[in-house]
Amino acid sequence: MTKGRWILAGLVVALVGFATVMGLRPKAPPPVEVTTSAAKKGTVTRVVTAAGHLQARETVKVSSNVTGDLLSLSVKEGDHVTRGQVLGQIDKRYYETQVTQFRGAVASARASIAQIDVAISQDKRDVERMKRLTDERLASAAELDKLVTQLKMDEGRLAAQKELVAQNVGQLETALYNLSRATLTAPIDGTILELSHKVGERIRGSDFSEDVVMLMGGLADMEVKAEVGEHEVVAIHVGDETAVDIDAIPDKQFKGHVVAVGKNAQIKNPGTDAEVTTFFVRVGLDVPPEGALPGMSSAVSISTATHDNVVMVPIQAVTSREAKKKEQKAAPREGELKVADSTTASTVANATNGKDEPPVKASTGKPKPVKVIFVVDKDGAAQMREVQTGIASRTDVEILSGVSEGDTVVDGPYRTLAREVQEGQKVKPQKPGQGSGPKGPQGGRS
């Protein structure tokens, strides 16, 4: 083999070796396509949303505690009535008879009082006359005692008769009250919402059970009764501003405010995995919606807190990862003295004083995940930063520490941000409108 062939063979072998070495070298992973946004300062408002139904703020059941046939109804559902207006009439003949009877009893008792007064006057005159005769020894003392006894008896009859009059007057007042209850009147200004009885039906009034004739309420003063979860209700206070959406009126949003926060828990499916605890929150509407009716489905958005001029990022930019592992110093060699630094000293002091640091591991033994944000540095690499968050709106979350105004943060796609992006990995921001995947769930609370 000639010298030129040896040189050619050597070059071929070198090229093959170089290609093999280059093929075996690890290649840098390609940059991950992400969407980004800039951390900025602004206003964040925490909003609690809940579903509920419209209702009149004041609802009254109209009933009667007297029994009788319903003879007439002067209103129908939807009619507006004023306080004191006659709504219907129950048969009152029995109660009119009672009134007449007790009026007669009162009159009779008062007439008896007049008769007894006359008898007492006569008794007093007889006693005076008998005293003079007794003094003149023309009558015996026994006859005088008899007349005195008769006077005392008539005075006792008078007292008893007066009590009888008072008793009959009380019975008459009760009869008059029952008679008035036979006429149904409106207790408030409002609208007839429901009629529970028809003319001719029997009204079974009682002091122990309520037989409702109709339901009325003030539609000029409406509110929404919504159910709020136990984790959100603690942030709601009376007076919080609220936006109300009514399903039947989709083109308008109504303003309102919280008027009451329920204290009695509503527990559904107790003792099961599907147990849910909620509380009723009543939201009053500032202006009554035209055409709105009780029972309409509604949704409320309650503004529970507002922070101005704070650093905020899109809410989907915050994800959870394991905390970075802190670097550990090499152990000292045998026989070498180790000088405790301030950190070690404070740790020992805390342990001595019984003050333990917050646990960094969950009950399962795995490290607890922390809230992090990936910030794109000037070299195009994603740097994971642990952050502390404040309140959150539907779209943005307040950042208390870890990110500064102007930092470029990764906010999507959701799958990439939640699982694929790693510390120091190169990223490639997508152009607006290029990404097809969703950025992640909107809303929620931090």
The per-residue pLDDT for range 38-55, each reduced to its tens digit, is 999 999 999 999 999 999
**Spacing of C-alpha 446 from chain mean position:** 21
Residue 271: predicted pLDDT: 87
What whole-number percentage of the chain has pLDDT above 70?
A: 83
In this structure, the strands spanning 427-429 and 32-38 are parallel
DSSP-based helix, strand, coil % in the chain, nearest 5: 30, 35, 35
Residue 365: predicted pLDDT: 60
What whole-number percentage of the chain has pLDDT above 90?
A: 36
> Distance between CA 437 and CA 389 in Å, rounded?
26
Compare 290 and 228 and report the one with higher pLDDT.
Answer: 228
Compare 355 and 324 and report the one with higher pLDDT.
Answer: 324
Residue 29: predicted pLDDT: 65
Average pLDDT on 132-160 reads: 87
Q: Is the pLDDT of residue 336 over 50?
A: no
Average pLDDT on 231-253 reads: 91
H-only helix segments in 87-139:
93-135
Helix, coil or strand: residue 99: helix
Q: Please answer whether residues 417 and 316 qualify as being in contact, where contact means their C-beta atoms are separated by less than 8 angstroms.
A: yes
Instruction: Give every CB contact of residue 160 below 8 A, 6+ residues apart in sequence.
Output: none
What's the first-to-final CA gap in the chain, in angstroms? Answer: 78
Instruction: Give every CB contact of residue 446 below 8 A, 6+ residues apart in sequence.
Output: 315, 318, 371, 389, 390, 391, 392, 397, 398
Q: Is the pLDDT of residue 230 over 80?
A: yes
Q: Is the pLDDT of residue 263 over 80?
A: yes
- At 226, the pLDDT band (50, 70, 90 cuts) reads very high
Look up tokens 């959100």; give the residue.
232
Helix, coil or strand: residue 223: strand
- The whole-model pTM stands at 0.61
Q: Please answer whether residues 439 and 411 qualify as being in contact, where contact means their C-beta atoms are separated by less than 8 angstroms.
A: yes
Residue 23: predicted pLDDT: 63
Q: Is the pLDDT of residue 436 over 50?
A: no
The mean pLDDT value of the chain amounts to: 82
Residue 22: predicted pLDDT: 62
